[in-house]
A and B are shown apart, each in its own frame.
Chain A
Amino acid sequence: MKPTRDQWLWMYETMVTSRLFEEAIAAAYFEGKTPAFNMANGPIPGEMHLSNGQEPCAVGVCAHLTADDFVTATHRPHHIAIAKGVDLDAMAAEIFGKSTGLSGGRGGHMHIFDARVNFGCSGIIAEGMGPVTGAALAFKLRKQPRVAVSFIGEGAANQGAFHEALNLAALWKVPAVFVIEDNGWGISVAKAQSTAIANNDLRAAAYGIPGHRVADNDPLAIFEVAGEAVARARSGGGPSLIEIETSRLEGHFIGDAQNYRPEGELPALKARDPIPALRDRLLREKVMDQATETALRDRAGAKVAAAIDAARAAAYPQPQEAFEKVFA
C-alpha cells in the first residue's frame, strides 16, 4: 500500500516541522551554555536528545495511526511526538519547563505526555514496551479497533523488558507494533559491539511473530511495512516487530563530542539526510511542486516559531506546584 498524495505531503511537512523544531530547540539549548558548557544553565537545562535523521521512522509509522492509538517513546521523543499529533505549543513549553507545558514543567523533554493523543515517553530503556503490551491488551478486551505502538532504540533489544514484552504480546496476541529505530549507536557503543546477532528483526522469530527490517531510512519502505503491521494488529492478527535502519545525525545528547564515531561516518550520513532526499524525490515524482514545498516549509517554520516564542514568553510554575499531581 503506497501513500496517497495527502499522506506524502503530511509525511514531508511533519518531517520538516520536526527538524525545524529540533534546530530551534538546539539553538535555545546552547543559550547560557557557551563557552563553559554547564548543563544546568540556560532556558533549556538538563539533557537534550535530538532526533535529527530519524524523522522517517516517526512519520512512516504514525501515518497509519489515529489519536486513539497508544504510543510510547524514549528519551529521544520529539519527532514521534510531533508525528503523533502532540500539542506542539504545550510540548515546547514543557521542554522549557513552563507552567503551560504538557505537565506544567514536571516532566521535561524525556517525559512528554499528551493524553489527548495517547502519547507518553520514558527515559528508561525498553520500559515503554510493557505499557504498550498492556494498552494493546485493554483494546483487545474491550474490542476496540485501536493499536498500541512502542518506539525503542536498537540498544533496547538487549534489555530484559524487550524480551518479556515481546513474549507476552505474542502469547496474548495483542494489537501491538514494536518499532526499533536502529541508529547504530548506544551512546558510544556500536550495535555490533552490543548485540549478538546482526539484526533484531530476526529476534521476532523467537516469539513467533513477524519481524521486518527496513533498510536505508526510506520513508516509503517504512510506510509500507508499518502499514502492514498496523493493519495486522487492528484486524486481530497480533503483534509485529519492525527494525528500521535510521541515522542519528547529532550526538547521543547535545554536547556529545562523538569521538567514538569512525571518521567519515557523520559526513556520509549527513549527505544522505532523509529530508532533502524526500524533498527531491517528491519533486521529481511530481507529488509536489516547488511552490507547494515552499508553502509547507513556511507553514512548518511558522508553527515551530510560534511554539518556541510562546514557550519563552510563558511563566514558570510556582515551587508549590511541585507538590501537586503526585497523586490524582
Chain B
Amino acid sequence: MVSVTIPADMWAEDMEGVISAWLFEDGDKVREGDLIAEVMVEKTSYDLTAPAAGILRILVAPDVPFRRGAEVARIE
C-alpha cells in the first residue's frame, strides 16, 4: 500500500488546497505516473500523479480543504 500525499513543496505559501477533480474513480486501476487529480490552490491548478501502480482508494472528496503533506488517497 502506497500513500498518495500532497508534496510539501507543491505550492509556495501555507494555504489550503482542494482537489478540484479526481480523474479516476475509487477502485480504478492506475499506473505509476498517471495524472490522477487536479489540485487547486486559490486559482492555480497543480497536477497530482500516482506514485505507484495499483488500485486507487480515494480518501478526500473534491472541495474538502487540506494543507501540504496531507494524505489524499492510497494505492493498493
> Is A289 among interface residues, defined by CB-CB distance under 8 A?
no
> Is B40 among interface residues, defined by CB-CB distance under 8 A?
yes
> Is B47 among interface residues, defined by CB-CB distance under 8 A?
no
> Is A160 among interface residues, defined by CB-CB distance under 8 A?
no
Tell me the complex Cα distance, A255–B20, Å. Answer: 15
Residues of A within 8 Å of B62, CB to CB, are: 36
Tell me the complex Cα distance, A253–B15, Å. Answer: 19
Can you name the residue of chain A whose Cβ is closest to the Cβ of B16?
A35
How far apart are A247's CB and chain B's nearest CB, in angstroms?
21
> Is A27 among interface residues, defined by CB-CB distance under 8 A?
no
Residues of A within 8 Å of B15, CB to CB, are: 35
How far apart are B26's CB and chain A's nearest CB, in angstroms?
20
Tell me the complex Cα distance, A113–B20, Å. Answer: 36
Would B18 and A259 count as touching, CB distance under 8 A? no
Residues of B within 8 A of A (CB): 15-18, 20, 40, 42-44, 62-63, 65
> Is A257 among interface residues, defined by CB-CB distance under 8 A?
yes
Can you name the residue of chain A whose Cβ is closest to the Cβ of B17?
A35
Would A36 and B43 count as touching, CB distance under 8 A? no
Can you name the residue of chain A whose Cβ is closest to the Cβ of B45?
A257
The SS class assigned to the A binding surface is loop
Known A-B contacts A35-B65, A36-B63; the reply to A257 vs B44 at CB < 8 A is yes
Residues of A within 8 Å of B65, CB to CB, are: 35-36
Can you name the residue of chain B whose Cβ is closest to the Cβ of A253?
B43
23 contacts between A and B (CB under 8 A): A34-B16, A35-B15, A35-B16, A35-B17, A35-B18, A35-B63, A35-B65, A36-B18, A36-B20, A36-B40, A36-B62, A36-B63, A36-B65, A37-B40, A37-B42, A37-B43, A255-B42, A255-B43, A256-B43, A257-B42, A257-B43, A257-B44, A259-B44
Residues of B within 8 Å of A37, CB to CB, are: 40, 42-43
Tell me the complex Cα distance, A31–B37, Å. Answer: 25
Residues of B within 8 Å of A259, CB to CB, are: 44
Residues of B within 8 Å of A257, CB to CB, are: 42-44
Can you name the residue of chain B whose Cβ is closest to the Cβ of A259?
B44
Tell me the complex Cα distance, A34–B15, Å. Answer: 10
Tell me the complex Cα distance, A259–B40, Å. Answer: 14
Can you name the residue of chain A whose Cβ is closest to the Cβ of B66?
A35
Residues of B within 8 Å of A34, CB to CB, are: 16
Tell me the complex Cα distance, A256–B42, Å. Answer: 8
Tell me the complex Cα distance, A67–B40, Å. Answer: 45
Pairs of residues from A and B, 10 with the lowest C-beta to C-beta distance, nearest first: A255-B43, A35-B65, A257-B44, A36-B63, A35-B16, A36-B18, A37-B42, A37-B43, A35-B18, A255-B42
Tell me the complex Cα distance, A36–B61, Å. Answer: 12
Count chain B CB atoms within 10 A of each CB in A37, A256, A259 and give the residue with the most: A37
Residues of B within 8 Å of A255, CB to CB, are: 42-43
Residues of A within 8 Å of B44, CB to CB, are: 257, 259
How far apart are B30's CB and chain A's nearest CB, in angstroms?
24
Within 8 A of B (CB), among A228-285: 255-257, 259
Residues of B within 8 Å of A36, CB to CB, are: 18, 20, 40, 62-63, 65
Can you name the residue of chain B whose Cβ is closest to the Cβ of A35?
B65
How far apart are A38's CB and chain B's nearest CB, in angstroms?
8
Tell me the complex Cα distance, A256–B65, Å. Answer: 19
Tell me the complex Cα distance, A259–B16, Å. Answer: 18
How far apart are B69's CB and chain A's nearest CB, in angstroms?
16
How far apart are A19's CB and chain B's nearest CB, in angstroms?
22
Tell me the complex Cα distance, A255–B41, Å. Answer: 9
Tell me the complex Cα distance, A35–B42, Å. Answer: 7
Other 14 A-B pairs with CB < 8 A, given A35-B18, A35-B65: A34-B16, A35-B15, A35-B16, A35-B17, A35-B63, A36-B18, A36-B20, A36-B40, A36-B65, A37-B42, A255-B43, A256-B43, A257-B42, A259-B44
